[in-house]
Structure 1
């Protein structure tokens, strides 16, 4: 358990969903919707490596505390990034590592999407191996709504799941999708009533546990190989583009407007 000590934005529980070798990692942000702040971003870059190295687990269930899974960036952190652009530049390494480490972990990762998954939260959910969502949850990548390029993995995974035409629509509009529609279009695996969420996750856990461990793990490794190559190619471009978008005047206005609950006054700059 030493590997999993010192986390402020995650809690870890063993033995849920009917098996003692299941480890549940729960995102526990410092705000009600588990928005990503600097501390969480740093921990996300580390957690999947630590989970891989944990000797007492074979399956990871990733979920969120409270009413959201992870609803994107924390707005206080956004304002810090706008005021100090160098701080945005400095998170590039962690941004890439979040995606690559989630694709590299060999253990099956089941996303228990208990509520909204947006922005980086949506990317993390979609990079998991299976996604089971509460039917009332929504998922989307609204980076553009706050003036940013979807540089932290959205451009990697969305087109692979639903095709380029649909993916570009949602990445460029920032629209959120209700879980049943997300299931119907193949973005997630299952949308179920909230009171059946744990049962569905437990069902998938049981199926995985009934198969030889390394056959399961290495099947995942092979299936993820094209995604790993794609992530390496795209993120070397997407992260710099996202960093540049943080400098735009419309970025600051979009964040202010969102916080003030009004339409943004965009200038195209």
Structure 2
């Protein structure tokens, strides 16, 4: 069952229960920050999952203390400075979202610690998203100096409404797992020590359910996201357009120097 995933280098795979595939972003020493390779692998893996006849449910998590802090600074810098990298990352950012939306298998996320950037996209796009109480979720695009692209425009207004979406996305306000559950941004919030148990329990229930019924229900529900496709496409294009401007240079410098940005 795991042979088809042998080519992945920054993701770890196991099968904790029958017909359940668990994927972990596996760079714990860097809080599971994305390199270009990680970004590519998290874009492509959902196609392999979709085509795997042995999988009925998926868990996506992060190894160690964090789910994922998003892109490595060097990766972000390459997107800012290099047009080819920017164009490549834009295509992958679109595909990552659509590949999760279109993956027929139900996906459960288990989010702990820091959850930001591309990691936040993956965690929130899961069909059932579970956050630990102490998880810290933030969409920090405007803090970096770029448009809130990735998953934000396609997902947040549907989950928690436009008013709250604007508040959290424009101001880059951080949410705990509890707050995210209270506003409807995640499906569930559980005690930190119950996160893995909760994710596995739900994945097992999904794997034991009627597969065609569950998959077609997911497909039909995700038409709400597909209808937001034009807005999503615009936001992602604007995200990578703004990467070419002066603001991300200051945003990245302020992150590296651990100071407020001066835009």
TM-score (norm 2): 0.94
Distance 1:30 1:87, change over 3 A: farther
Mind listing any 5+ residue stretches in structure 2 that lack a counterpart? none
SS at match of 2:21: strand
Contact 1:111 1:128 in 2 (8 A): yes
Q: Within 5 A, what are the aligned runs for 1:94-133? A: 94-133=92-131
**Aligned partners of 2:248, 2:86: CA distance in 1, in Å?**
13
Task: Give the match for residue 260 of structure 1.
Answer: 257
1:57-108, CA deviations, whole angstroms, 9 ceiling, x for partnerless residues? 1110000011111111111111222222332122222111100010011111
**Aligned partners of 1:147, 1:9: CA distance in 2, in Å?**
28
Contact 2:58 2:203 in 1 (8 A): no
Task: Give the match for residue 242 of structure 2.
Answer: 245
Task: Give the match for residue 20 of structure 2.
Answer: 22
Task: Give the match for residue 49 of structure 1.
Answer: 47
1:30 to partner: Cα distance: 7.3
Distance 1:184 1:30, change over 3 A: closer
1:190 to partner: Cα distance: 1.6
Q: Within 5 A, what are the aligned runs for 1:195-234? A: 195-231=193-229, 233-234=230-231
**Aligned partners of 2:136, 2:254: CA distance in 1, in Å?**
22
1:223 to partner: Cα distance: 0.6
1:31 to partner: Cα distance: 4.8
Task: Give the match for residue 80 of structure 2.
Answer: 82
CA RMSD of aligned residues (A): 1.6
**Aligned partners of 1:202, 1:38: CA distance in 2, in Å?**
29
SS at match of 1:13: strand
Which deviates more, 1-10 or 155-164? 1-10
**Aligned partners of 1:105, 1:189: CA distance in 2, in Å?**
19
Contact 1:104 1:228 in 2 (8 A): no
SS at match of 1:69: coil
Which deviates more, 132-141 or 78-87? 78-87
1:187-209, CA deviations, whole angstroms, 9 ceiling, x for partnerless residues? 11222112111222233234324
Distance 1:199 1:90, change over 3 A: closer
Mind listing any 5+ residue stretches in structure 1 that lack a counterpart? none
Q: Within 5 A, what are the aligned runs for 1:105-184? A: 105-184=103-182
Runs of 4+, deviation exceeding 6 Å? none
**Aligned partners of 1:144, 1:246: CA distance in 2, in Å?**
11
**Aligned partners of 2:31, 2:220: CA distance in 1, in Å?**
34
SS at match of 1:79: helix
Distance 1:31 1:149, change over 3 A: farther
TM-score (norm 1): 0.92
1:256 to partner: Cα distance: 0.4
